[in-house]
Amino acid sequence: MRFTRTKAIVATAALALSLAACGDAGGDGETVDVDVADDASFDAGTRMAELADQGTINVGVKFDQPGLGFNETGADMPTGFDVDIAKILVASLGIDPNDTSKVKYIETISDNREPFLEEGKVDLVLASYSITDERRAVVGQTGPYMLTGQQLLVPEDSDAESPEDLQGKEVCSVTGSTSLDNAKAQGMKPVGFDTYSQCVDKVLDGTVEAMTTDGTILAGYAAQNEGELKVVGDPFSEERIGVGYSKDFPEMCQWINDTLEEANEAGTWAEAFEANLGASGVETPDFPELDSCES
């Protein structure tokens, strides 16, 4: 009896250790400090005034993309560039973005971003959300606050350098993502899995030759698996990553644009980029030109 109990304790400890090892994925946990606006004032009747008054907000972010939106097991809140931009927006409403009783970070996967906005389950979406005309037909999108392009993640010893080298080869991405569709358009054979990390697994075990999606996402995985995986090729698509909001509140657009512009001028935008994506060797780019809210 004692023997089994000892064994159980050892097993639990081992499990805890291995879980801790798994959890070490979200970069170095650096985040950008944002000042909570204490003089936040908005025109009465706007959604921003409403949110500022109620003092709570729901933000949709990704939970599984290191460097952009990543929730470590057991962590209070996710970390990443998307999350930091969300914090800047939340802080401008006079809400403390680090107080999880006020700000709820909800996981939005690629499939439920529009429904969550339409149903009002989230007020903002910052989940590597590319701006497209089809999406703009159902939800509001503005930005972009980041430009990225699709690249390839291959094993360190691979010779493949561009989509041309992978014609007719199987390439992994997330089922239903734009990246998977682009891969097909480039002449590669798309293989869809549920999450990017599963694709990483498939590249590591050699079942597929490469995986593909936005370069910023791949850089995070390359950093996580240093010496085993590398990002190659020039970007072969352009994704304009923006902020999603409900179409019911068009006034949010100008507020988001203004806040992003301010963050750029104050340097917090660049700071957030470096803190989250700098480590993976990506140079901080220029702040992208924002779409106008008139239309």
Partner 1 sequence: MDAVLESLPDVFRAFGYTVLLFLVSGVFSLIGGTLLVAMRVGPVSVLNKAAATYVTLVRNTPLLAVFFFFSFAAPKIGINFKWVDVHIGTFDFTSFFSTAVVALTLYTSTFVCEALRSGVNAVPLGQAEAARAIGLPFSGVMRAVVLPQAFRASVPPVASALIALLKNTSVAAVFGVIEAASQMKIMTNNNADERWGIFIAFALGYVLLVEVVSLAAGTLERRWRIA
Q: Tell whether residue 181 is a contact of partner 1 (CB under 8 A).
A: yes
The alpha carbon of 2 is separated from its chain's Cα centroid by a whole number of angstroms, namely: 48
CA angle 8, 10, 14 (to 5 degrees): 115
Please tell me what DSSP assigns to residue 161. -
- The interface region with partner 1, picked from 57-65, 81-89, 145-153, 174-182 by CB under 8 A, is 174-182
Nearer to partner 1, 196 or 273 (CB): 196
The alpha carbon of 207 is separated from its chain's Cα centroid by a whole number of angstroms, namely: 26
Measured CA to CA, the distance from residue 92 to residue 270 in angstroms comes to 17
> One symbol per residue from 133 to 172: x for binding partner 1 (CB under 8 A), - otherwise; what is it?
-xx-xxx------------------------------x-x
- The interface region with partner 1, picked from 47-55, 131-139, 227-235, 280-288 by CB under 8 A, is 131-139
Please give the structure tokens belonging to residue 289: 């030109």
Question: Nearest 10 degrees: CA dihedral of 153, 158, 159, 161?
Answer: 0
Q: Tell whether residue 111 is a contact of partner 1 (CB under 8 A).
A: yes
Name the residue among 122, 95, 77 with its Cα closest to residue 243. 122
- The interface region with partner 1, picked from 47-55, 150-158, 186-194, 257-265 by CB under 8 A, is 186-194
Please tell me what DSSP assigns to residue 79. B
> One symbol per residue from 195 to 214: x for binding partner 1 (CB under 8 A), - otherwise; what is it?
---x--xx--xxx-------
Q: Which residues bind partner 1 (CB under 8 A)?
A: 110-111, 114-115, 132, 134-135, 137-139, 170, 172, 175-178, 180-181, 189-194, 198, 201-202, 205-207
